[in-house]
Amino acid sequence: MELIIDTADLDEIKKLDALLNVDGVTTNPTIITRSGKTPEVVIPEIIEYLRPDQKLFIQVVAEDYDGIMEEARYINGLRPENTYAKIPVTREGLKAVRDAHNEGLGVLATAIFSPESAFLAALNGADYLAPYVNRMSNYGDGIQQVADLIEMLAVQDLDTKVMAASLHNTNQVHELILAGIQAITFPPAILNSMIDQPGTVGAVHDFTASWEKNYGRTTLRA
């Protein structure tokens, strides 16, 4: 499974990349605005930091077909490889997914709210599909719908990957891993809550305290 971070906060990217095998970074227009920097500053910063093998997914802002295509070409031209344009699955977007794929551009179909529209984007050649799991859960069982999508792609022999997005708790992560999800884009807060288990920290503290009390040091060897 690919581990992706859903943020444009370079400090968060660096912190998480220092201790996990991070496969890439996703952003969207709102996430870029939250960085407090302009896109002209923050996008090059992220590009400068990422290794060439780490993937970068940047979302188009234009809503019309010509604008989406122009931005998809621009995004794909930012790095020699491993760069994908995120295109929302609107009517204009679906058409752009097909044509961008036919031009050889990397495409992630995003803002997905149903397995059926996701499936159309897969048929149009998207490399990745990003269902908005938590937002889908407002209308039904978002996890089950994503599990169905994974199955639909498998039985139809499509190699499009599903990248779960819009995750709001670790139980959603747990269920999606069990369902065989190919990629998850994690908000840093969710990843940090998976890393920082209070029970683990407490157990280590107790081990160290008993060791220090008995041997007067906090290392294995004197």
Phi-psi bin for 216: left (phi > 0), alpha (psi -120 to 50), beta?
Answer: left
The first and second tokens of residue 66, run together, are 């010509």
Q: How open is the CA angle 101-107-109, to the nearest 5 degrees?
A: 115
Over the window 3 to 32, marking each residue x when it contacts ligand G3P by CB under 6 A and - when it does not, the resulting string is ---x-------------------x-x--x-
Rank residues 119 and 186 by Cβ distance to ligand G3P and give the closer one: 186
- Least distance between ligand G3P and beta carbon 113 (Å): 11
Rank residues 79 and 135 by Cβ distance to ligand G3P and give the closer one: 135
Q: Does 59 bind ligand G3P (CB under 6 A)?
A: no
The size of the interface with ligand G3P (CB under 6 A), counted in residues, is 10
- Least distance between ligand G3P and beta carbon 135 (Å): 5
The first and second tokens of residue 68, run together, are 């989406």
Max intra-chain CA distance, the chain: 72
Active site residue 86: yes
- Least distance between ligand G3P and beta carbon 87 (Å): 13
Q: Does 109 bind ligand G3P (CB under 6 A)?
A: no
Phi-psi bin for 24: left (phi > 0), alpha (psi -120 to 50), beta?
Answer: left
CB atoms within 10 A of CB 120: 17
Rank residues 84 and 132 by Cβ distance to ligand G3P and give the closer one: 132
Q: Does 90 bind ligand G3P (CB under 6 A)?
A: no
Stretch that binds ligand G3P, among 75-83, 129-137, 142-150, 207-215 (CB under 6 A): 129-137
Q: How far is 188 from 6, CA to CA, in rounded Å?
A: 7
Where b means 16+ CB within 10 Å and e means fewer, 38-60 reads: eeeebbeebeeebeeebbbbbbb
**Considering only CA atoms, which of 127, 128, 145 is closest in space to residue 136?**
145
Stretch that binds ligand G3P, among 12-20, 64-72, 128-136, 150-158 (CB under 6 A): 128-136
Rank residues 154 and 189 by Cβ distance to ligand G3P and give the closer one: 189
Q: Which residues bind ligand G3P (CB under 6 A)?
A: 6, 26, 28, 31, 132, 134-135, 165-166, 185
Known catalytic residues are 86
